[in-house]
Structure 1
Amino acid sequence: MSMDTQRTPYPSVVVTARLDAPLSRWLWLVKWILAIPHWIVLVFLWIAFFFVTVIAFFAILFTERYPRGLFDFNLGVLRWSWRVSYYACGALGTDRYPPFSLGPHPDYPARLDVAYPKRLSRSLVLVKWWLLAIPQYLIIAFFTGGTRVSWWGGGLISLLAVIAGFAVMFTERYPKDLFALVVGLNRWVVRVAAYASLMTDAYPPFRLDQGGTEEPDGFL
């Protein structure tokens, strides 16, 4: 099998990011404070996300379908969380304040989409969110500093984001290789979040796909 074949994108979940330039040398120090209104809203959205996922579990078990309205809501929560993380603590890749919205906002530098599945496996829904996902949980716990996939806070990702912040402070540049790595780590977390919340049956690859796009050339 060729390397090009091995590097095909993971089609179910697409995470993209554009590095804005120039970035403020100092704004990154207070972005986490500026994002507090988002954190407050996201607390309630993630509570709702949990209950929506439980309802979807039973819907998939009996109908093999994820109700579209519930799917779109959970996708919106993931999008909102990714935008806030990209701005405030998980990447620091933009100074544009994230919108208070569940919608896609294609003009924002951080974007996320999950392909809506026409059918989902009844048998997989019983085990994928806990048993099958355990190896992935162990990996992203190192990335995020815990087992929660909703905040992308702490752990390796936040450490690298802080390093990037200091690089911007002293050089006015966000190192490109560091940006590619940070986005790749976040992409892995988002894929696991979508899988664990029953939005796809496609198992997340054990692969660090770096870079702001999902193109094969951006993969490691």
Structure 2
Amino acid sequence: MPQAGELLFLAPNAAKHSRLTAFFRWLIVIPHAILWFFYGIGAGIAVVIAWFALLFTGRYPEGLYSFVSGFVQFNARFYAYAYLLTDVYPPFSGGPDENYPVQLQIGPAKESYSRLWVLLRFIPLIAVYIINYAIGIVLAFVAFITWVTVIFIGRVPDGLHNALAFCISYNVRAVAYGALLVEQFPAFETAGTGPAAPPASPATY
């Protein structure tokens, strides 16, 4: 489990993917996309409230932290499934799920946060979202190649899997940073260990 204010993204590569569910992935994922949209609105409102709480008290209210981190974890599973990083259908829930092969583990809230960091967060956020936008373009391109590959061979080669994991890892870190869950500027990769779903070729970011 990560320390307070830290997160860990784990993405093992399954040996096989279903050609059928991969072919219809963008149709199958629609219910989750709808939930993601409304869940995201709620999380956005919660982040605004948390911003004021952090600015005046230096603390992230526990209830808000739990709700927002739940959305960020749901977002990670949604992206992982939508972009073929995993073939396992995600649950319609936020929060941690130890049974899901792709995990975003988020540490507990810190005891206190820098109020100056909270006040000036919008400045580094500009850079974060520019980077995330650029990586999103790369992700769409890699996902299309992965989609074609899975249709023909029924699996995701390690190179494509690692590229998908890299892009999605940055996305979820950017979301967590924007949601005020972490203070550290989103890294392009970070070391970590965690359970891999057998049979798998572990990739940790």
TM-score of the aligned structures, taking structure 1 as reference length? 0.80
Structure 1 runs, 4 residues or longer, greater than 3 Å off: 217-220
The answer as to whether partners of 2:13 and 2:203 remain within 8 angstroms in 1 is no
Separation (CA, whole Å) in 2 of partners of 1:67 and 1:214: 27
* Deviation of the 1:208 alpha carbon: 4.4
Q: RCO higher in 1 or 2 (8 Å CA, sep ≥ 6)?
A: 2
What's the counterpart of residue 103 of structure 2?
A: 111
Determine the structure 2 residue equivalent to 1:120: 113
Q: Find the residue that maps to 1:113 and give its secondary structure.
A: strand
- Per-residue CA deviations over 1:136-155 (Å, capped at 9, x if unaligned) read 221111112xxxxxxxxxx2
User: How has the CA–CA distance of structure 1 residues 14 and 22 changed in structure 2, closer, same or farther, with 3 Å as cutoff?
Assistant: same
SS of 1:123's equivalent? helix
Structure-2 separation of matches of 1:52 and 1:199? 12
Q: What TM-score do the two structures reach when normalised by structure 2?
A: 0.86
SS at match of 1:14: strand
Q: Which 5+ residue runs of structure 1 have no aligned equivalent? A: 1-10, 145-154
SS in structure 2 opposite 1:202? coil
Equivalent residue in structure 2 for 1:177, among 149, 153, 159: 159
What's the secondary structure of 2:151's corresponding residue?
helix
For 2:103, what is the secondary structure of its paired residue?
Answer: strand
CA distance in 2, matches of 1:29, 1:214: 32
Per-residue Cα deviation, 1:141-178 (whole angstroms, up to 9, x for no partner): 1112xxxxxxxxxx211221121121122223311011
Contact 2:80 2:86 in 1 (8 A): yes
Which residue number in structure 2 is paired with residue 149 of structure 1? Answer: none
Number of matched pairs:
192
**Structure 1 vs Structure 2 CA RMSD:** 2.1
Distance between the aligned counterparts of 1:114 and 1:20, measured in 2? 23
Matched, 1:142 2:134: yes
The 8 Å contact of residues 120 and 200 in structure 1, kept in 2 or not, is answered as no
